[in-house]
Chains A and B, each alone.
Chain A
Amino acid sequence: MSRQQIKQSLAENISNNFDAFGFSRRDFLKFCTAIAATMGLPFSMSKLVAKTIEDPTRPPVIWLHFQECTGCTETLLRATHPKVETLVLDLISLDYSETLSVAAGHQVEQALHDSMEKNKGKYIMVVEGSIPIKDDGIYCKIAGKTAIESVQEVGANCAAAIAIGSCSSWGGVQSTFSNPTGATPLHKILTDKPIVNIPGCPPSPYNFLSTVLYYLTLGKLPELDDKGRPKFGYGRLIHEHCERRPHFDAGRFAEQFGDEGHREGYCLYKLGCKGPETYANCPSILFGDVGSNSWPVGTGHPCFGCVEEGVGFTKHVHEQSEVKTFTPGSIYPDIHFEKEGGITAAGATVTAAAVAAGAKLVSDTAKKIGEKSQDSSTKA
């Protein structure tokens, strides 16, 4: 059988399996389109996604746990597209995971070494948890090795690494003052490999899954910001996409849990919401695939900035945040639309008045926007 024929027969096999599970080929392609859309890819890419998913060789992944709580692995159990069983059985070959590997002790260590040997330079290393470096790293040992040694050994021959969660991305909860164990992020230990940081405590599973699918599909890592985070997940402030933003702009705030403003769904800024200084897609992607309001602000709790170093686990939950974006004046913007005969007299009057009255405001705002775009460009 030629390679082409093998591929053909495997592809058919997969299609047949979809049938057996009650999925049609059409459902499958719809799924691929959804994945492509999640990653901000054009529709035409969905066929490439399908091809990648059907490719018989599943890329090897080695998943290491250090100073962590397994919350990042747990978050994958909640994902629906793809589901964890699809990820592990169909998309990747998870060759080592302390949480999911059936084998233990010597048997699982053997599986780790077999995969590293066989897939030298080709596997993806995922790291969950920070690495304690104080006192020669004694605060975390697996199979007799310190976390530092494991990272160096497994990291040496990985194609790329993904730091999942705030702990691995910037140190997380145990790295905050007084950091008793010297908890350190992956990128400070492994310095010569491409690393994608997926912070969050835990992050949305889709920020991790979409990174993996991006890599599988496009053969490269997603565009990253200056902190090594994928732009599709961390490119905007929570504040810029929050459904409660209009209340902020209008000056309507909840002052205490359960008060009238809180029960009306007003802005949580005065309760200490860190949305204005936290870059994450929580308000657009939500959590748990259960529809509206399923994220912290949606259930009435201020964001505490779990994604952001220097905010999460550092600032007090009810401490006022630093608003990193400009605040527009509370005037209605003009609506520009082409109309035969030009703008109406009434419209012209309003526009002229707005220009006169708002001149200073506009110039101030423009200045702030200028500062902001400078800020963005350094971020990018």
Chain B
Amino acid sequence: MAKRITVDPITRIEGHLRIDCDIENGKVKNAWSSGQMFRGIEEILVGRDPRDAWIFTQRFCGVCTTVHAIASVRTVENALNLEVPVNAQFIRNLIVAAHGIHDHIVHFYHLSALDWVDVVSALSADPNAASKLAQSLSPWPNNGVQEFKAVQDKLKKFVSSGQLGIFANGYWGHPAMKLPPEVNLIAAAHYLEAFEFQRKANKIVSILGSKTPHIQNLAVGGVSNPINPDNQAALNMERLYYVKTLIDELEDFVRNVYLVDLAAVGALYAHWLPYGSGVTNYLSVPEFPTDSKGTKFMTPGGYIKNGDVGTFKAINSFQDKYFMNGVKESSKHAWYEGEKALHPYEGETKPYYTDFKEDDKYSWVKAPTFYDEPAQVGPLSNVLAMFAAGHKPTQKYATLALEKISAIAGTKVGIDALHSTLGRHAARCVRTNVLVDVLRENYDMLISNIASGDVATFNAPTFPKGEQTGFGFHEAPRGVLSHWIVIKDGKIKNYQGVVPSTWNAGPRNQNDKLGPYEASLVGNPIADPEKPLEVLRTIHSFDPCLACAIHVHDNKRQDTIRVKTLSRFN
């Protein structure tokens, strides 16, 4: 007889997520993913000026800040066939890459590391041994005995205060925790140090984007940053060189700390490599456009079927029809009316709340499909696509990561190991390393373009009479994001976002196939159903972001929302 567990709330994520699992013989037999919050921002957009849409859509999420702003301006530009000056592309690319690096660092260290790292065990570590070990793996200068001793003292003091704060009731001493105390101490030290480096990545975003979260330098048609090396109130040499300095500092941390820690965790938990693959149709899109139209990109993307990189089919431009025609969303198991999967241009969303009904409707998240199949999105999909497309930096960093994991584990770990819970973490780290290269190249391109005398940053949009449709995509930190718009007489008629966490957190689809979260949980070991740490491991590996996933637009402006049943406590 299976035992049902409900984990609600799932913490260390963005938003409100509930996971239900049936456990049998120490393994997950079945799983349900349920989004628990709904805001209706797309409905609010109807009738507004398309130039304002990005300001609203960026508020889908403050963790995936910037991404919904970028996707939105691309969507309106696509509908208007409006090209963007290359300076604006480079500035957007710098922001996107810097934000991605911040996001991946925070995810690994602050949101997911404590599923694998036991902070309490770090208290009994020998700082000398920890230092020796860390120095054998990396040239990072802050891996000295004094640094580790100071961190250990800080933790001791914190624990002895009796006020454990965010660490209260954590999974300390859980049987699934396997790292030796010294590795736990190294990880705890880097947990603290990572705060500093995610701030540096954010500084790049602040310099160019004016603030973060929620940048405010975009415009349909370009960016608002004036470029003028001879003015104190514009993007000038001082501002630009600050960006360059931060890129240098970030590179050190990403290469010598993040990559090494990832390899150590991956290797020491090698017994977890078989778990968590789930849905192995992988979707990603190309990113970092370098021309004004969006036909040339720095990182490739596309579709891989059934985990076979040989099936890779590239997505080539912002106008790509293969992508445009493939996306649908199903509400069969979501709290909206209807069962049929619909294309986003035709998407309709009439809320129909029934409370949690596992065989029927049980989530505010819809189930997107690509050519009628569920697809996993995120850094793993992106890295596999880039690898398949022969992208050199990806191949370099993926090989480096796998070699390091193999060396520490003492056994050969190949690329197939990436189809797993830990593989998603590894891919995220590989992608972060690629993003550092992207940052550097964009910086160089921006500088040489300014040096050539081109200071254009904006092409003004004009809105013709009649109806236009458009879509914009973006390879966001959590995967493929697309926005879809219908404009009529210069005003928004319909707006829809199909976002990464919707792809991954979605419930069963119109054919009752499990969504990626659900499928990846099946078969996971569970040592203690009362403390389902392993569920968190797999769910966190996707980097859930639920505010993004749940949104609705009702193009018919239906005001009455039907509520079938309502229980206050379930």
Contacts and interface: CB of A to CB of B under 8 A. Distances in A.
A313 B168 contact: no
Contacts of B456: 258
B536 interface: yes
Interface stretch (A33-41, A100-108, A207-215, A350-358): A100-108
B12 A100 contact: yes
A316 interface: yes
Contacts of B331: none
B115 to A, nearest CB: 9
B460 interface: yes
Contact of B210 (A108, A146, A295): A295
Contacts of A264: 228, 231, 233
Interface string B140-171: 00000010011001100110010111111111
Interface string A147-170: 001000000000000000000000
Contact of B202 (A77, A88, A183, A313): A77
Interface in A10-32: 13-14, 16-17, 20-21
A287 B206 contact: yes
Interface residues of B, number: 110
Contact of B561 (A105, A135, A294): A135
A72 interface: yes
Contacts of B169: 102-103, 107-108, 110-111
A163 to B, nearest CB: 16
Contacts of A68: 62, 547
Contacts of B219: 257, 301
Interface stretch (A171-179, A191-199, A336-344, A362-370): A171-179
A291 B454 CA distance: 26
Contacts of B222: 257-258
B458 A258 contact: yes
A175 B321 CA distance: 36
B460 to A, nearest CB: 6
A15 B128 CA distance: 23
Interface stretch (B41-49, B179-187, B463-471, B509-517): B41-49
A67 B39 contact: yes
A287 B223 CA distance: 18
Interface in A60-112: 60, 65-75, 77-78, 80, 83-85, 88-89, 92-95, 97-108, 110-111
Contacts of A135: 353, 561, 563, 566
B36 A140 contact: yes
Interface in A109-167: 110-111, 114-115, 132, 134-136, 138-146, 149
Given A65-B16, A70-B14, A258-B226, A101 B166 contact: yes
Given A71-B62, A84-B195, A265-B232, A101 B11 contact: yes
A287 B208 CA distance: 11
B16 A299 contact: no
Contacts of A233: none
Interface in A288-336: 288-296, 298-301, 304, 306, 313, 316-318
Contact of A288 (B40, B205, B224, B552): B205
Interface string B486-523: 00000000000000000000000000000000000000
Contact of A295 (B62, B170, B211): B211
Contacts of A80: 199
B62 A103 contact: no
A69 B62 contact: yes
B147 to A, nearest CB: 9
Given A67-B39, A140-B16, A257-B458, A105 B7 contact: yes
Interface residues of A, number: 104
Interface string A237-265: 00000011000000000001110001111
Contacts of A299: 208-210, 216-217, 224-225, 235
A202 interface: yes
A347 interface: no
Nearest to A296: B216
Contacts of A257: 219, 221-224, 226, 457-458, 460
A58 interface: yes
A198 to B, nearest CB: 15
Given A97-B166, A98-B11, A114-B168, A72 B62 contact: yes
B63 interface: yes
Contact of A143 (B9, B62, B114, B208): B9
Contacts of B203: 288-290
Nearest to B170: A102
Nearest to B546: A70
Contacts of A301: 210, 216-219, 224
Contacts of B552: 180
Contacts of A142: 8-9, 16, 36
B210 A67 contact: no
A272 to B, nearest CB: 10
14 contacts: A13-B157, A20-B154, A92-B165, A104-B9, A139-B39, A144-B570, A180-B39, A180-B44, A181-B38, A181-B40, A265-B231, A301-B216, A316-B48, A316-B52
Given A146-B568, A183-B39, A293-B239, 10 more contacts: A85-B195, A95-B166, A98-B11, A103-B170, A108-B9, A181-B38, A258-B456, A258-B457, A264-B228, A318-B49
Q: Which 8 A-B pairs have the closest CB atoms?
A: A71-B62, A265-B233, A288-B206, A180-B40, A102-B170, A287-B211, A20-B150, A105-B7
